[in-house]
């Protein structure tokens, strides 16, 4: 009897904490789309030109990289839920500063803090979900990233509506309050769930040798490279789509629609792709190949409406890529969820800290269409790397059969 009660209590606690983690990442998803929707307003407020138009996004990503570098060092020392709450607290401060600042230096500092908060929330939400559902991580990472997608889907609609009523600075204050409220709710859920949670297998304290072994393993290195190349493709669309639609077609509202469509269909992909009876790497390969095709078709069409449709298609075919590659890495490297989450997210954010600046410069040097074709080329390169991973798998399987 006691055993069944304990089992029920444990299941309830896991459900509560799972819900809290998804709620937190959904709020983070909403905040993460803020930079894309307000980009036009930031550019005008600070009179940015050329590569400087991507400065806010780049410094957010630099801050996130710093957070991801620190996060693995906390493995086995500080609880992931504590790191999530700390990250959320930093976001309250950073969004308040984004609203209060008027000088470019203030924007840069607030953007760095935002990146740190994003990084700690992102890495620890992913790692905590793997710990809670290690035997079914692909499914629950799909739910987690689906929650992120829901937040990112709501963001363009909500923020664009708010911008018709108040300034982007005021929107920043409102978002500071929103993440603060989410942090309080998560703390209450965590307090309620804590007593019934099953014991988590203690993770080893991270060492330099452990990091080196992980990073220099050929398969891990190739997965990280594929993730970086996919990240360039994703960021190129997400960061620049509203700005691109404004300058190329004088259709800022359609840019926000394209962003929402991407996240709507990306969320569908993240929830349902893990249910398909197809190997994860094959689904990732199909996703990046189709991303290349739809991005090229959208840009070369010369139509704002077709670009919106392309955004929806890209979300549908590639939304699952990041959670699936994280699931593959966790399955092949058990007991290192913090290291894996941080390593892959570092690869994403480090790439994204450079790509917005380069794309802004590319638009100045060449054209807006050339700028928007760059993410397609990156998706094509990602497809080549995933193809190599699949070839290595096939060779290994053939060798095992021969033995």
Instruction: List CB contacts of 105: < 8 A, sequence separation 6 or more.
Output: none
Could you read off the pLDDT of 41-63 as tens digits, one per residue? 888 888 888 777 878 888 988 89
What's the pLDDT at 1? 46
Best CA proximity match to 236, nearest among 351, 146, 339: 351
Residue 201 lies in a domain: no
Best CA proximity match to 341, nearest among 60, 72, 64, 146: 72
Best CA proximity match to 99, nearest among 176, 181, 182: 176
Residue 91 lies in a domain: yes
Residue 199 lies in a domain: no
What's the pLDDT at 156? 85
Residue 200 lies in a domain: no
Give the residue ranges of the chain where pLDDT is below 70.
1-9, 72-76, 134-138, 194-211, 334-338, 341, 403
d(CA 76, CA 341) in angstroms, rounded, equals 14
Tokens of 43: 């550019």
Structural domain containing residue 122? 2-194+206-402
Tokens of 299: 């840009």
What's the pLDDT at 336? 65
How many structural domains does the chain have? 1
In this structure, what CATH number is given to the domain that contains residue 252?
Answer: 1.20.1250.20
Q: What is the pTM of this model?
A: 0.72
What's the pLDDT at 203? 58
Best CA proximity match to 35, nearest among 60, 18, 15: 60
What's the pLDDT at 391? 93
What's the pLDDT at 75? 62
What's the pLDDT at 143? 82
Best CA proximity match to 63, nearest among 377, 346, 314: 346
């Amino acid at each position: 009897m006691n055993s069944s009660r304990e089992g029920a209590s444990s299941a309830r606690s896991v459900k509560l904490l799972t819900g809290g983690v998804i709620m937190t990442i959904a709020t983070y998803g909403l905040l993460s789309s803020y930079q894309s929707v307000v980009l036009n307003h930031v550019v005008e407020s600070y009179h940015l030109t050329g590569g400087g138009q991507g400065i806010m996004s780049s410094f957010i990503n630099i801050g996130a990289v710093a957070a991801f570098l620190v996060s693995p060092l906390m493995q086995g020392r500080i609880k992931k839920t504590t790191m999530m709450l700390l990250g959320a607290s930093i976001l309250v401060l950073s969004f308040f500063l984004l609203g209060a600042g008027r000088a470019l230096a203030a924007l840069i500092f607030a953007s760095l803090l935002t990146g740190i908060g994003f990084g700690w929330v992102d890495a620890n939400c992913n790692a905590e979900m793997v710990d809670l559902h290690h035997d079914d991580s692909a499914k629950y990472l799909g739910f987690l990233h689906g929650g992120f997608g829901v937040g990112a889907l709501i963001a363009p609609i909500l923020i664009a509506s708010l911008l018709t009523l108040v300034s982007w600075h005021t929107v920043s204050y409102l978002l500071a309050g929103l993440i603060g409220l989410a942090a309080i709710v998560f703390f209450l859920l965590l307090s309620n769930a804590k007593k019934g949670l099953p014991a988590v297998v203690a993770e080893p304290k991270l060492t330099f040798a452990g990091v080196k072994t992980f990073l220099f393993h050929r398969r891990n290195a190739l997965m990280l490279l594929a993730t970086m190349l996919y990240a360039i493709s994703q960021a190129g669309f997400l960061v620049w789509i509203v700005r691109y639609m404004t300058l190329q077609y004088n259709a800022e509202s359609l840019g926000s629609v394209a962003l929402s469509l991407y996240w709507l269909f990306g969320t569908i992909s993240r929830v349902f792709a893990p249910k398909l009876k197809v190997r994860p790497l094959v689904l990732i390969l199909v996703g990046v190949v189709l991303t290349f095709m739809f991005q090229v078709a959208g840009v070369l069409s010369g139509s704002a409406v077709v670009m919106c449709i392309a955004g929806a298609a890209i979300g549908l075919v590639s939304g699952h890529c990041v959670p699936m590659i994280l699931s593959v890495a966790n399955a092949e490297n058990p007991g290192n969820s913090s290291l894996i989450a941080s390593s892959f997210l570092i690869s994403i954010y480090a790439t994204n800290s450079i790509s917005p600046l380069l794309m802004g410069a590319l638009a100045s040097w060449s054209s807006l269409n050339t700028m928007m074709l760059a993410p397609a080329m990156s998706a094509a390169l990602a497809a080549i790397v995933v193809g190599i991973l699949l070839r290595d798998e096939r060779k290994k399987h053939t060798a095992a059969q021969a033995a």
